[in-house]
Structure 1
């Protein structure tokens, strides 16, 4: 136990104290408290009697019936194991049996208490293991303090040598004739500085700055290489079709980098992230007030009992998901007030100039940044039948590669403790995903027909008034809330069921298998190789179950095993409805909007999932290029 828990120089075997007593072991703790002697008592005659006594009736008084125990206690004299100035004011008697330790405390409590008063303590294997852990932490702390003191001394020496160098350089300027002598002195001082620097490097615990800089540039170059590789993957997955326009590739990559660079590195826009985060917090607090009124402590109100486990009172359905209702109502009101249409029209105009697609397709892609995968096609319902096959495919990819505004607020609330400026990061991810989805879609299915004409006018009005928008938005939010709840229950249960069948046969889960497939994509986003497995598994959970569970796991784990940069990249890569359930929802909704193209929409469903997954990884790689560790 000592060898496992303590360093080799932290203890000694069969150590002789100054009073002539030889203890079984001595733990070399610094003063205070000082070294602690340990003596081991084997399970001999008293122990056997103790074991036999457990099966009998209540024992007589210990002092009369157990003379060997009394004699053993008498050997625990402080004079034997406690030497002032040499050891601590206490010693340990190790009993190699938990049962013996318990029996001694139960039958000889008075003698054990007397031994403790004298500074001698009986410890069982479990107690000694825990005590050794605390002693190891104390030794490590003392060692780190000593190294810090050494570092301070070396820095002070370095400062002294630097001051001496300055004085001698000044002497060189004043006494040019004695240049040779002064140069020799400078050389001597430089040697001393080099020696001091070597000693400092010996106690330096952080990686050198040059190594960090090399790692930084290496990871960013890795992400820069990953972007074209992801484009190549999309082209290969589409069957290496001809007809991909260089304008589409250049516009797609440059627009992603420009959007990300502007939102991440221009101070005024970056400051807007904090304001957006405050707005999300305000929405969460307002929702908490409503859920507290309706559900009481289940909705986040004061608990009528003590919370035994931290976070045990959090209930997802009653405290986090109701935010969907408020955001759904507000989104409908903003749409009716023509605020959302104004932003969507501006974004659609920019996409049209970049990629040259029809107005209806651009409008659908731009709307997907703020609304869901079914609501966006609803805005272009009159033109769905006239879209080219490539434009229809791009609209489907954009629906899966982005998230709606109400889910953005929910996810931002969930991962705010783990990802800095979570709301702004998710909004940036959706904006980057718009050109990324067009690029991935047109690489897999290049445009081969003339673009359709239409959807150039204003977006249609959906509500009769503000109150109508508020009521219908709340109803839509309720439908979404119940759909999320049902999807979580069903898909988590199905994955658990598949894992029950798969794990005994292969030793792997469905998420782990999907993680193997996503490992190269994690590397292409600029993730360090040591963290690629964790990121790939999160991407696998997102595709197999949904992104809600992936974000939930990220928030629950606190980003364990991932650096801050990797957590940010993963946040961008998860920002999309790229899962099988969403494909089913989208195909069903779009088929209902355009029944004459039902077969075409169904055939493009799984292909759009592949393209959307690549588009989300492009967003992560873009941030990887622009973000240093």
Structure 2
């Protein structure tokens, strides 16, 4: 049965992407098929083999160690402020971002990270049917961050046509920043975080091939990266420490606002209509949950969590999932976990538009115009990744 649902899920996801395609005649089906096979192979390897288990455990243990290191700094500053036995989300899940950001800064400073990103990007460009710039940007966005990645390609950004600009922005919204991966691992099973990072990369390429197909001519396929101004080691440390802290505080502020807002809206809807806003959205998203492979008995609850991610952000949705995970099957928890690991929400439109505006106002206006299409495509990426995992669980 799950194989039939898998085929149905793929068909509906591709159909929804096909509906908004900018040039259906130019869709390249060969790279789509190749990447779909790669996704299925990698998903089986990561979730159903002993080697995959060892690999994921290694990554999980690495982040666990990093979070322990980060905790030493957090405890030094904030130790004793929380009540014993309680989970202080800001301290345990968000402030470790500061330390992870510092590690990224060090790898950037010594040119290790750019070398890795460029190498993986060039390798991906051989199989995804897209340009070198698009492949680099997808990998870089998953490591550096959805806003910061545009700085590294700012010399090319101003001259990009609309179709290539869409692909760069879509990659930024479909992935997640490595600086907050550790925070995700405190809320959902690390194996799903790692699997989602891999799947979303290819799902993003697949959906872009359908929604925004085009061909990059060889003379246009040039990757020129913007080199950062030379800083001393300690200047760099100070900059990335503040960047990490800014990210942590920003996420905390968004959580406060979104959680309070969704609670208020739920209260208003419940008092007037006798049903919460989240439950109402759950009915809208429940068919999508079903085609991803979630059992019919749990698709309403799953739909509520999926819709929460879209209208708020992935952190709020992960917190909601953690509250009901014990009442859901492991299959549902796994599929939902994969779906939640991305930046596909309304606030990301503003973040990406803001990042491009700091470089080129004209291009930022272009980004704002296709903002909803970006979110639509990024949501399809999450649905595709969840569908692929659904057939393996």
TM range (shorter): over 0.9
1:307-456 map, 5 Å? 307=84, 311=85, 313-415=86-188, 419=189, 422=190, 424-447=191-214, 450=217, 453=220, 455-456=222-223
Q: In the aligned structure 2, how far is the partner of 1:240 from the partner of 1:386?
A: 21
1:364, 1:395 within 8 Å by CA — same for their partners in 2?
yes
1:239 Cα deviation (Å)? 6.9
1:542, 1:579 within 8 Å by CA — same for their partners in 2?
yes
Deviations 1:433-473 (A, max 9, x none): 11211221231222267477355356734652433332211
1:298, 1:318 within 8 Å by CA — same for their partners in 2?
no
1:489 Cα deviation (Å)? 1.6
Indicate yes or no: 2:388 matched with 1:622.
yes
1:254 is matched with 37
Q: In the aligned structure 2, how far is the partner of 1:585 from the partner of 1:385?
A: 18
1:496 is matched with 263
1:606 is matched with 372
Q: In the aligned structure 1, how far is the partner of 2:290 from the partner of 2:341?
A: 18
Q: In the aligned structure 1, how far is the partner of 2:331 from the partner of 2:232?
A: 45
In structure 2, relative to structure 1, the CA distance for the partners of 1:224 and 1:561 (3 Å cut) is: farther
Q: In the aligned structure 2, how far is the partner of 1:327 from the partner of 1:609?
A: 27
Higher alpha-carbon Rg:
1
- SS, match of residue 369 in structure 1: helix
1:530 is matched with 297
Unaligned runs of 5+ in 1: 1-217
Q: In the aligned structure 1, how far is the partner of 2:192 from the partner of 2:150?
A: 25
Indicate yes or no: 2:282 matched with 1:515.
yes
Indicate yes or no: 2:365 matched with 1:582.
no
| TM-score normalised by L of structure 1 | 0.59
1:329 Cα deviation (Å)? 0.8
1:394, 1:442 within 8 Å by CA — same for their partners in 2?
no
1:543 is matched with 310
2:344, 2:375 within 8 Å by CA — same for their partners in 1?
yes
1:479 is matched with 246
1:16-55 map, 5 Å? none
1:335 Cα deviation (Å)? 2.0
Q: In the aligned structure 1, how far is the partner of 2:215 from the partner of 2:121?
A: 21
> Which runs of 4 or more aligned residues in structure 1 lie more than 6 Å from their structure 2 counterparts after TM superposition?
none
Q: In the aligned structure 2, how far is the partner of 1:436 from the partner of 1:594?
A: 28
Q: In the aligned structure 2, how far is the partner of 1:339 from the partner of 1:465?
A: 16
Equivalent of 1:284 in 55, 58, 67: 67
Equivalent of 1:229 in 12, 23, 31: 12
2:56, 2:194 within 8 Å by CA — same for their partners in 1?
no
Q: In the aligned structure 1, how far is the partner of 2:148 from the partner of 2:229?
A: 11
* Larger fraction in helix: 2
Deviations 1:291-340 (A, max 9, x none): 221112226xxx6xxx5xxx4x3222233211111111111112223332
1:155 is matched with none
Deviations 1:547-590 (A, max 9, x none): 00111122233x13321122111111101011111211111111
Q: In the aligned structure 2, how far is the partner of 1:375 from the partner of 1:485?
A: 19
Unaligned runs of 5+ in 2: none
Deviations 1:260-302 (A, max 9, x none): 2333345334312111221222122222222221112226xxx
- SS, match of residue 609 in structure 1: helix
Q: In the aligned structure 2, how far is the partner of 1:271 from the partner of 1:533?
A: 34
1:555-594 map, 5 Å? 555-557=322-324, 559-594=325-360
Deviations 1:344-403 (A, max 9, x none): 223212321123322222111111221211112222111112333222112212111111
2:102, 2:237 within 8 Å by CA — same for their partners in 1?
yes
Higher relative CO (Cα under 8 Å, sequence separation at least 6) belongs to 2
| TM-score normalised by L of structure 2 | 0.92
In structure 2, relative to structure 1, the CA distance for the partners of 1:394 and 1:271 (3 Å cut) is: same
- SS, match of residue 145 in structure 2: coil
